[in-house]
Amino acid sequence: MKSLNSNKYVLNELLVTIFNDILEIEQTALQEGVLKDLSVTEIHTIEAIGMYHPRTMTEVANDLNITVGTLTTAITKLVKKGYVERTRGEEDRRSVMIALTRKGKLAYRVHEKFHQDMISETIKGLTDEEEEVLIRSLEKVNSFFKSKYNLKK
C-alpha cells in the first residue's frame, strides 16, 4: 500500500497536470478547428452568453465572475469577429443586451461537442459505482476551491 504522502503527491500531480492539459488541449482544438480566431477566454464568454436568449452584460459578467468593464472589452472583440451582437434593452434602453449570432451559435455547439467528447472519454469503461465515486470526489475538490477562494460558481 502506498504511503499517504505518496498519494498526496500523485493527486497533486494529477490535478495540476489535468488542469494544464485541459487548457492546452482546448486552445489547440480551437486553433486547429473552425474557431481558430477565438481564444479560450472568448469561447468561455460565448458559452456564458448561451444559445437561446439575449442576456444583459451584468448577467454574463456575474456568471463569469468578472466586471462589466472587462466583459465590455471582450464583447467588443467578439462583435468585431461576428460571434456576438449587441442591442439595447426593449424595456430599459439603458441596458445592453448581448446574444450570439449564427456564427456564435456554431462556436457554442463546437465547444459543447468538445466537452461532451472529453466527458465521454473520461467515463468510458467506468462502472456506475466508479462514475459516482469520481463525481463525488470532484464535487469535494470543487467545493473546497469555491469555499477556500470565495468563488461564486
CA-to-CA dists, residue 87 to 51, 92, 118, 148, angstroms: 16, 11, 34, 38
> Which residues constitute the domain of residue 113?
38-148
Percentage of residues in the chain having pLDDT higher than 90: 59
- Structural domain contains residue 5: no
Average of per-residue pLDDT values in the chain: 89
Q: Helices marked H in 50-148 — which ranges?
A: 57-64, 68-81, 102-123, 128-148
Type and span of the H or E element at 97: strand 96-100
pLDDT at 152: 63
- Structural domain contains residue 3: no
Q: Read off the pLDDT of residues 38-67 as tens digits, 9 standing for 90 and up.
A: 998 999 999 999 999 999 999 999 999 999
Q: Which of 63, 113, 103, 60 minimizes the C-alpha distance to 79?
A: 103
- Structural domain contains residue 83: yes
Tell me the mean pLDDT in the region 1-28.
Answer: 83
- Structural domain contains residue 17: no
pLDDT at 126: 96
pLDDT at 46: 97
Is the predicted pLDDT of residue 153 greater than 70, yes or no? no
DSSP-based three-state secondary structure for 96: strand
Q: Which of 50, 45, 77 minimizes the C-alpha distance to 61?
A: 45
CB 96, CB 86: distance < 8 Å: yes
CA-to-CA dists, residue 9 to 2, 13, 49, 142, angstroms: 11, 6, 38, 19
- Structural domain contains residue 63: yes
CATH number, domain with residue 133: 1.10.10.10
Per the structure block, which three cell numbers stand in for 91?
Answer: 424595456
Strand partners, 86: 98
Tell me the mean pLDDT in the region 20-37.
Answer: 82
Domain total of the chain: 1
- Structural domain contains residue 2: no
Out of 11-25, 115-129, 130-144, pick the least confident. 11-25
- Structural domain contains residue 9: no
Its pTM stands at 0.79
pLDDT at 2: 59
DSSP-based three-state secondary structure for 38: coil
Is the predicted pLDDT of residue 94 greater than 80, yes or no? no
- Structural domain contains residue 123: yes
